[in-house]
Amino acid sequence: MRLPLPVIILTLLLAACTTSPTGQQQLLLFSEQDMAKLGDESFEEIKAKEKLLPEGEVTAYVQCITRPLTDRVGGDWEVRVFQSEDVNAFALPGRHIGVYTGLLTVAQDPDALAAVIGHEIAHVLARHGNARVSTQMATQAGLEVLSAVSGMQSRPGGDDLLAALGLGAQVGILLPFSRQQESEADLLGLKLMADAGFDPEGALRLWRAMGAQQAGSQRPPELLSTHPASQSRLTTLAAALPEAQARQAAARAAGRRPSCALL
């Protein structure tokens, strides 16, 4: 039996539609391995472009905060600190995390920094990069999606891919995550930081500080171009705070008490 092409495409798209950790439907056309490879390649490009901060007190501080988080999600993530005034951080499929030193001027305590990194890791865990590349392909390419899915011959590349993975302003293209993805990353990230033993109120401090920085500066934080510091974000986080505090108490009772300081 020969099925009409639109039926084949629709079937493929439906087969690729999955449910995210908080129960949202999302279209995922790429395998975990494909996304990891794309993440690996993107991270190499960024490392070649950005100035790496030499090993020292600041890199040790960032590692100290990142390790309890990545320990909760399989460990063994590559963490790099870039010397830059940009207020930004990101995580990529393939287990890569980039933190810009400018972020430390806004995320001024360990719990606030854990909130940013937890949020970025949550985007990866929820496969938001995959969903964004997939949706972009499905929307733009139409029939080409079919060949990409069936043969995996053509891969998205270049700036579109970097933007779709969430790097936003870093590569000169602004393409924010959707509100739904932001909200999901907030809630997952809050759980993750609390389970690692960090104070979840750090997330509220962080987004308030981001908002203040935006209001008082000619140059708003880069992170805000992809992660708006909206009132609805604060409301969602505040509502989830009691449960997160219970999680933190359980984590600390179990001996997970991260102690990181920048002297």
Residues acting as catalytic residues: 120
Contact status: 185 vs Zn ion (CB under 5 A): yes
Q: Report the alpha-carbon distance of residue 44 to residue 82 in Å, rounded.
A: 13
Tell me whether residue 115 or residue 145 sits nearer to Zn ion (CB atom): 115
Identify which of residues 45 and 176 has a Cβ nearer to Zn ion in the complex: 176
3-class secondary-structure state, position 86? coil
Considering only 24-32, 176-184, 212-220, 241-249, which stretch makes contact with Zn ion by CB under 5 A? 176-184
- Nearest approach, Cβ of residue 87 and Zn ion (Å): 14
Q: Is 187 in the site for Zn ion (CB under 5 A)?
A: no
Closest CA to 123 of 82, 183, 169, 81: 183
Q: What are phi and psi of 187, to 5 degrees?
A: -70, -40
CA distances for 167 relative to 54, 92, 114, 162, angstroms: 23, 9, 19, 6
Q: Work out how close the CB of 177 gets to Zn ion at its nearest, in angstroms, rounded to a whole number.
A: 5
Cβ proximity to Zn ion, 90 vs 149, nearer residue: 90
- Binding track over 208-247 against Zn ion, x by CB under 5 A: -------------------x--------------------
Closer residue to Zn ion in complex, CB, 182/199: 182
**Extended beta strands in the chain, E state:** 17-19, 25-27, 78-82, 89-92, 96-100
**Residue 18: in which H helix or E strand, if any?**
strand 17-19
Answer yes or no whether residue 165 interacts with Zn ion by CB under 5 A: no
Q: How many Cβ atoms from other residues are within 10 Å of residue 147's Cβ?
A: 12
CB of residue 101 to Zn ion, shortest distance in Å: 20
For Zn ion, the binding residues in 44-73 under the rule CB under 5 A are none
Query: Residue 234's CB: how many other CB atoms inside 10 A?
Result: 16
Binding site for Zn ion (CB under 5 A): 182, 185, 227
